[in-house]
Amino acid sequence: MATSAANSFTTHDLAFVLFIAALVLLVSVAAVRFANRSGMPTLVLYLGIGLVMGEAGLGIHFENPELTQVLGYSALALILAEGGISTRWSSIKSSIAPAALLATVGVLVSVVVMAAFVVLLLDKSWTIALMVGAIVTSTDAAAVFSVLKRVGLPRRITGVLEAESGFNDAPVVLLVVALADAATPGRTAHAWWVVALEAAGELIGGAIIGLALGWIFAKLSRATAPGSSGLFSIGILSVAVLAFATATLAHTSGFIAVYLAALVLGNSNLPHHRAVHGFAQAVGWLAQIGLFVLLGLLASPGRLSGQVVPAILVGLVLLLIARPVSVFASLCWFRFRWQDQLFLSWAGLRGAVPVVLATVPLTVGTPDTDWIFDLVFVLVLIFTLVQALPMPWIARKLGVAESAQVLDLDVEATPLEELHADVLQLHVGDTSRLNGVEIQELRLPPGANVTLIVRGEKGFVPSPSTVIRRDDQLLLVTTAKSRDQAIRRVRSVSRDGRMAGWATPLRSDSD
């Protein structure tokens, strides 16, 4: 085997592969700047790079759905690990129940609605229709996380979207595999209640493994952390991967395990936590780039054109009927406003997950399912643009956008950790009532202060009497203890003006 490998892959081949890989990464990194300016999701650009490199472009032939599925699962595990590590528990804890319901009951409702229309519109069997519904109904963590960064939203809404996209991969994967087995001759098809019990057991088992490993290694890491932040970051990400592998080997859900383990680790007050976040983000970006380019390579432009009309029909049903029905069925119990539910319906972005899951029937050998991958690929490409580009405008029109957006800044400074401090960036929007308010009128809690204002292209250190203006960028330094209170204070003043807390009580982020 070693001799064969040595004869088939030389150092010249290695240089060529590295040249192509490095070039793709450089183009992909440069594309992020264009995406940020235009509002276009990066996944669309990466899929486009894969198509350009493929058989209709540079002529690279790649037709291996089995390898795509294996690498896709690996990339999704790393993306979920990055999402879990980067998600603050305080931002999603009030949204766990609605997000969990949306990721389970909501998924089932959406699958059934989609299946009914696939049977009607595409004249497919119910088993195939249910499988198509399960494939396209899952929201994608990478797509959601990237788009939410440019839309200022209340914590309750971002918490639902982040938690849902982290939770729903696991049940959807189990459902797609079960339906693919049921539609494949020669494979054992279980009764629906058996499948439901197995899925519940796998989800619960995966959750227990993820939470347990995350808690155990969080305790160990705080006691035995090495001095090197880079080495420590590798160890933390390895724990998340270990959770995925352990849960999979135990025949439970690896996807729910990796997300929960990473969530526990990311919220455990780890040493070098900013370095860990930066490393996880870099690995997550690398996984996204590799996955989307790979999926673009697997797609054949010659076949995609025949699925444009069916993909648009299925996508419209998903966007305008199935997703809103699933959101309403899941969230009507939690006092979400109808505007919030409409936005959550629109913001359920699809990405790599549906395209990777579309390879499952190909690898299982389900007959007459070659068209599913092409349909899903076209659907994701079109509707990611349709949904993502107008999302900031839709958020403003529905009244769910925050007029002042507060973001965490990753400042590479170990003294911040030693001081238990955080640095936040505040952008004053057009409708924010922070406009005209003096710094001293913010009445920030002890331990928090505005240390810098950037107005136009000039920055200056404000005094207590400095007046805040629209489109200002403020740098807010706060102790970890005062962080949440400072954010609540800024957002309340942004909503209610300088008299917030006097004329009206301060409102929490979930209000």
* CB neighbourhood size of 246 (10 A): 19
Computed on alpha carbons and rounded to an integer, the radius of gyration of the chain in Å comes to 24
Which CA distances in Å does 411 have to 63, 278, 318?
A: 43, 10, 40
Same fold: 12-397 with 404-496:
no
Higher local confidence (pLDDT), 227 or 162: 162
pLDDT at 294 over 70: yes
- Predicted confidence at residue 2, as pLDDT, reads 43
User: What's the confidence (pLDDT) of residue 309?
Assistant: 92
Q: Which of 192-201, 262-271, 276-285 has the lowest mean pLDDT?
A: 192-201
Q: What is the pLDDT of residues 434-453, one digit of tens each?
A: 888 888 888 888 888 998 99
Going by pLDDT thresholds of 50, 70 and 90, the confidence category of residue 498 is confident
State the average pLDDT over residues 68-96. Answer: 86
- Which amino acid appears at position 231 of this protein? L
Q: What is the pLDDT of residues 18-77, one digit of tens each?
A: 888 898 888 888 877 777 666 667 778 888 888 888 776 777 777 888 888 888 889 889
452 DSSP 8-state letter = E
What pLDDT does 1 receive?
40
Residues 146 and 74: their CA atoms lie apart, in Å, by 19
User: Can you give the length of the chain in residues?
Assistant: 511
Q: Return the pLDDT at 110.
A: 93
pLDDT at 138: 81
Other beta carbons less than 10 A from residue 211's beta carbon:
17
Homologous superfamily, domain 404-496: Regulator of K+ conductance, C-terminal domain (3.30.70.1450)
Enter the tokens of residue 505. Answer: 């009580």
Q: Tell me: pLDDT of 156 over 60.
A: yes
**Measured between alpha carbons, how far is 210 from 476 in angstroms, rounded to an integer?**
34
Query: Which DSSP string corresponds to 10-58?
Result: -HHHHHHHHHHHHHHHHHHHHHHHHHHHH---HHHHHHHHHHHHSTTTT
Q: Where are the domains of the chain?
A: 12-397, 404-496
- Closest by Cα among 392, 433, 319 to 153: 392
Report residue 117's pLDDT band, with 50, 70 and 90 as the boundaries: very high
For 154-213, the DSSP string reads -HHHHHHHHHHHHHTHHHHHHHHHHHHHHTSTTS----HHHHHHHHHHHHHHHHHHHHHH
Percent over 90 (pLDDT), the chain = 20
**CA separation for the pair 388, 380 (Å, rounded):** 11
Q: In what order do the strands lie in the sheet with 448-455?
A: 404-408, 421-428, 473-479, 448-455, 458-460
340 vs 156, residue with greater confidence: 340
Distances (CA, A) of 352 to 31, 78, 133, 201, 402: 18, 13, 16, 26, 28
Comparison of pLDDT for 218 and 500, the residue scoring more: 218
Taking the CA atoms of 163, 166, 170 and 171 in sequence, report the sign of the dihedral they define.
positive
Q: Which of 5-14, 110-119, 374-383, 403-412 has the lowest mean pLDDT?
A: 403-412
178 burial (CB, 10 Å; 0-12 / 13-18 / 19+) is buried
Say what the pLDDT of residue 414 is.
46
- List, in sequence order, every residue forming a beta bridge with 408; answer none if it has no partner: 424
Q: 287 pLDDT exceeds 80?
A: yes
Averaged pLDDT for residues 248-271: 89
Over range 247-268, report the average pLDDT. 91
Instruction: State the average pLDDT over residues 425-440.
Output: 85
12-397 has which CATH code? 1.20.1530.20
Which tokens is 344 given?
């959550």
User: Tokens 């705080």, residue?
Assistant: 222
Residue among 325, 334, 408, 390 nearest 156 (CA): 334
Asked whether 468 and 435 are in contact (CB, 8 A), the reply is yes
Identity of residue 299: A
Are the C-beta atoms of 295 and 68 separated by less than 8 Å? yes
In eight-state DSSP terms, residue 455 is: E
The whole-angstrom distance between residue 495's C-alpha and the CA centroid of its chain comes to: 28
Q: Which pair of structure tokens corresponds to residue 134?
A: 């399960």
> What does the pLDDT average to over 293-310?
86
Average pLDDT, the chain: 83
Instruction: Name the pTM for this structure.
Output: 0.77
Distance CA 256, CA 208 (A): 9
For residue range 458-475, list pLDDT tens digits in order. 889 999 899 999 888 888
Residue 426 CA to residue 446 CA, distance in Å, equals 18
What Å distances lie between residue 335 and 55, 154, 282, CA to CA? 51, 15, 37
User: For residue 406, what pLDDT band results from cuts at 50, 70 and 90?
Assistant: low
- Reported confidence tier of residue 5, pLDDT bands at 50, 70, 90: very low
Mean pLDDT is highest, among 64-78, 150-164, 264-278, for 64-78
